[in-house]
Structure 1
Amino acid sequence: MGSERPQTSSSFVSPSIYHVFLSFRGEDTRKTFTDQLYVALVGAGWRTFKDDNEIERGENINTELENAIIRSRSSIIIISKNYATSTWCLDELVKILEHKRTKGHAILPVFYHVDPSEVKHQKKSFAEAFTRYERQIEAESDEGKKEWMDKVGKWRAALGEVADLGGVTVNNQGDRKSEAKAIKEKKEKEERQGEIKSE
């Protein structure tokens, strides 16, 4: 991809199509790995969407992020220890996988200091997150129970599905710039192989 392409990001959704949507847990990786990956992608000419909004958000994914996912050709999903503690991240994941099934949206999961089996079977920190969601179900009224049960079912299925896609596992404490560069190069290889169509 040529460097003449706009190197845009952030939470503004332009009419143009993004090459990559980044899904990540801000408290885990925003200022570290995700920032390094974003810099590497933009430096390679990829129009990349990274939500820079750090304020407290509501329970449901907003229209802006839905539009960004729809307007992106692919997503990199950085699944870290606290990813499942965010209903926002889980809703993003569900939306990304829906877009994959309906539009052929390409996905590259990055398992950041977590094992894919923990994600697939919701173990360790993922089990703790879902224990809290189960308690939320118990605390709800009958109508609220159904809504939360539906949500939790979708989230569990989405984590199982994304874990089965394979991807990249980052477990060492090495140079984050090198790790981010390696993932960027994997995306470039996918494009050359035609998995992500460029303009």
Structure 2
Amino acid sequence: MASTSLPSCSTSASSSQVWNYDVYLSFRGRDTRYTFVDHLHAALRQRGICTFIDTESLTHGAHTARSFSKAISESRIAVVVLSKNYADSRRCLNQLAMITHMKKEIDQIVIPIYYHVDPSDVQKQTGTYEEAFLKHELINSENVEFWRKALEELNSHPGWVLNKDPYR
């Protein structure tokens, strides 16, 4: 199951929206889990910011997709850590599509972080992003155009570019 490091998160509510999380972290685990994302999550937790982050024990499937969907819709802010292999993951791309939908529906704040990836590669879907989409199109092209638009929308938000890894 998905969890937060703070077991009983309860954040303030707006007039029509109840936030169960301050921040939802979307990231490709194998790229960033034990480096940047762990440090970001610890820093947020130290400041009392209730953050949804998946645990390593997550199983793939419909239940997990519903859990992520619910957590995204109950988060005030979505931080999307775009890394070299982010677009390889259908799960990451589905999360991103949900995040861009929530931006429109509930005016969720979206913050992209470009971790060792050029923002123009993400926007223009070149490099590893192009390779990932070519693979997705071969397997099942059903959601590819939707994911492409979600990435384009994400690039319209101000974000941070991190090209140097301070942990290496």
Give the whole-Å Cα distance in 2 for the aligned partners of 1:136 and 1:11.
38
Aligned to 1:117: 120
Report the Cα distance in structure 2 between the residues aligned to 1:116 and 1:61, rounded to whole angstroms.
Answer: 29
Tell me which of 142, 148, 172 is aligned to 2:164. Answer: 172
Q: Give the TM-score normalised by the residue count of structure 1.
A: 0.72
Bigger Cα Rg: 1
The number of residues matched between the two structures is: 158
For residues 97 and 4 of structure 2, the distance between their equivalents in structure 1, rounded to whole angstroms, comes to: 22
Residue of structure 2 equivalent to 1:152: 144
Q: Which runs of 4+ in 1 moved over 4 A?
A: 10-16
Question: Cα–Cα, structure 1 residues 30 and 62, in superposed 2: closer, same or farther, change >3 Å?
Answer: same
Larger strand fraction of residues: 2
User: Higher helix proportion, which one?
Assistant: 1
* TM value normalised by structure 2: 0.85
> In structure 2, what is the equivalent of residue 189 of structure 1?
none
Q: Which runs of 5+ in 2 are unaligned?
A: 12-19
Shift of residue 173, structure 1, vs aligned partner: 2.4
Alpha-carbon deviation of 1:61?
5.8
Structure 1 range deviating more: 65-74 or 81-90: 65-74
AA at the equivalent of 1:76: V
Gapped regions of structure 1 (runs ≥ 5): 1-7, 138-147, 177-199
Corresponding residue for 1:40?
43
Query: Closer, same or farther in 2 for the Cα pair 1:56/1:14, shift >3 Å?
Result: same
Query: Helix, strand or coil: the match of 2:145?
Result: helix
Q: Measure how far apart 1:163 and its partner are.
A: 1.4
What residue in structure 1 maps to residue 56 of structure 2?
53
- Matching residue of 2:107: 104
Overall identity of the aligned pairs, in %: 37
